Amino acid sequence: MSTSLSGKTALITGSTSGIGRATALLLASHGAHVIVSGRDTGRGAGTVAAIQDSGGSATFVAADLSDLASVAELARLALEVTGRVDILVNNAGILPFGTSTDLTPQQFDDIYDINVKAVFFLATALLPTMVEHGEGSIVNLSTTLATKGFAGSSLYASSKAAVETLTKVWAAEFGPQGVRVNAVSPGPIATEGLAPFGDGAAVFYNGTPANRLGQPEEIAAAVSFLVGEDAKYIHGVILPVDGGASIW
Ligand SMILES: NC(=O)c1ccc[n+]([C@@H]2O[C@H](COP(=O)([O-])OP(=O)(O)OC[C@H]3O[C@@H](n4cnc5c(N)ncnc54)[C@H](OP(=O)(O)O)[C@@H]3O)[C@@H](O)[C@H]2O)c1
């Protein structure tokens, strides 16, 4: 086990599945105590067991990020685990698509509650203690689609565009106090989140330099870099990890 994150506590939302789970395993392998979170306690226990089986340490804290009270409770319980949260990975997100005229106010709220509002209020609940310690690192998950006009992605892409703007504003607000805030912008990654697209997911990578789906571990590697010491001069970037999809 690498020890580059030894002594750090990392809260990773949506780490019961996909990119979050891969990130939890990687940060734990670098020595962080990982707080695994999601709604599904069974899958949460599975991520914790996988980390512990590899010699790492982790705790599961259940939360439903569509509910602001649950977001606040997650922040409170996360701070109780080791007394501090040094790293926050705002990974949980939902990826629904639909033609804009078919989307309902409820779908708008569902997407924005989880993809934007929970990100905002979880980060702002944890930032004061990071500032108090004079150090901390936040990585938000965006998407290549945040800067594109891909038909059917209106609510999803715009919610992630908001996340990209929050990333830059927070970098400016909290960087001077020792907290670095960055984002990773994945292309299409082979996870449950992408599963509803089936073979249709090829539209997201056909003709890109990599010409394939990415793997969750390839996104985890970028998150791990951004939260670590090697990235200590990096503030406010939106790092594309997308097989080249962003050069279209
Ligand atoms: N996969 C891609 O192609 C892709 C591309 C670009 C960006 N991204 C972004 O990367 C992030 C992870 O995506 P993924 O594909 O790995 O997703 P995923 O496999 O669908 O996993 C989503 C995670 O979010 C959690 N989650 C969903 N709703 C939640 C809620 N209401 N409260 C708490 N947790 C909730 C789920 O946990 P529970 O089920 O346990 O609640 C799960 O752990 C997302 O922000 C997504 O937008 C993904």
Query: In terms of pTM, does the model score above 0.85?
Result: yes
Instruction: Locate the ligand 1 atom nearest the alpha carbon of residue 186 and give its number.
Output: 6
Residue 1 counted as domain residue: no
Q: State in Å: Cα 216 to ligand 1 middle.
A: 11
Please report, as a single letter, which amino acid is at residue 234: I
User: Which two three-digit tokens encode residue 146?
Assistant: 């945040």
Instruction: Locate the ligand 1 atom nearest the alpha carbon of residue 16 and give its number.
Output: 43
Domain of residue 119, residue span: 9-242
Q: State in Å: Cα 106 to ligand 1 middle.
A: 19
Residue 248 clears pLDDT 90, i.e. is over it: no
Q: State in Å: Cα 95 to ligand 1 middle.
A: 8
Q: What is the domain-level CATH number for residue 54? A: 3.40.50.720
Give the distance from CA 219 to its chain's centroid.
10
pLDDT for residue 196: 92
Task: State pLDDT tens for residues 141-192.
Answer: 999 999 999 999 999 999 999 999 999 999 999 999 999 999 999 999 999 9
pLDDT for residue 2: 76
Residue 60 counted as domain residue: yes
Spatial neighbors of 156 by CB under 8 A, at least 6 apart, are: 94, 95, 96, 97, 111, 115, 143, 145
pLDDT for residue 206: 95
Run of H or E including 53? helix 41-53
Residue 97 counted as domain residue: yes
Residue 148 CB–ligand 1 contact under 6 Å: no
**CB atoms closer than 10 angstroms to residue 62:** 16
Percent of all residues in the chain with a pLDDT value above 90, rounded to a whole number:
98
Q: State in Å: Cα 91 to ligand 1 middle.
A: 6
Q: Establish whether 156 is a catalytic residue.
A: yes
Residue 227 counted as domain residue: yes
Residue 223 CB–ligand 1 contact under 6 Å: no
Percent of all residues in the chain with a pLDDT value above 70, rounded to a whole number:
99
How many independent structural domains does the chain possess?
1
Dist CA 152 CA 47 (whole Å): 32
Please report, as a single letter, which amino acid is at residue 39: R
Instruction: Single out the catalytic residue among 112, 156, 205, 233.
Output: 156
Mean per-residue pLDDT over the chain, rounded: 97
Instruction: Locate the ligand 1 atom nearest the alpha carbon of residue 188 and give its number.
Output: 3
Dist CA 75 CA 73 (whole Å): 5
Residue 248 counted as domain residue: no
Best mutation site among 25, 26, 39, 241 for ligand 1, i.e. most ligand atoms within 8 A of its Cβ? 39
Q: Where are the beta strands (DSSP E) in the chain?
A: 9-12, 33-38, 57-62, 87-90, 136-141, 179-186, 238-241
Instruction: Locate the ligand 1 atom nearest the alpha carbon of residue 190 and give its number.
Output: 1
Residue 243 CB–ligand 1 contact under 6 Å: no
| Complete edge-to-edge strand list for the sheet that includes strand 87-90 | 57-62, 33-38, 9-12, 87-90, 136-141, 179-186, 238-241
Which residue is closest in CA terms to ligand 1's atom 41?
Answer: 39
Task: State pLDDT tens for residues 10-55.
Answer: 999 999 999 999 999 999 999 999 999 999 999 999 999 999 999 9
Q: State in Å: Cα 160 to ligand 1 middle.
A: 13
Task: State pLDDT tens for residues 61-72.
Answer: 999 999 999 999
Residue 4 counted as domain residue: no
DSSP code, position 214: B
Residue 228 counted as domain residue: yes
Residue 247 counted as domain residue: no
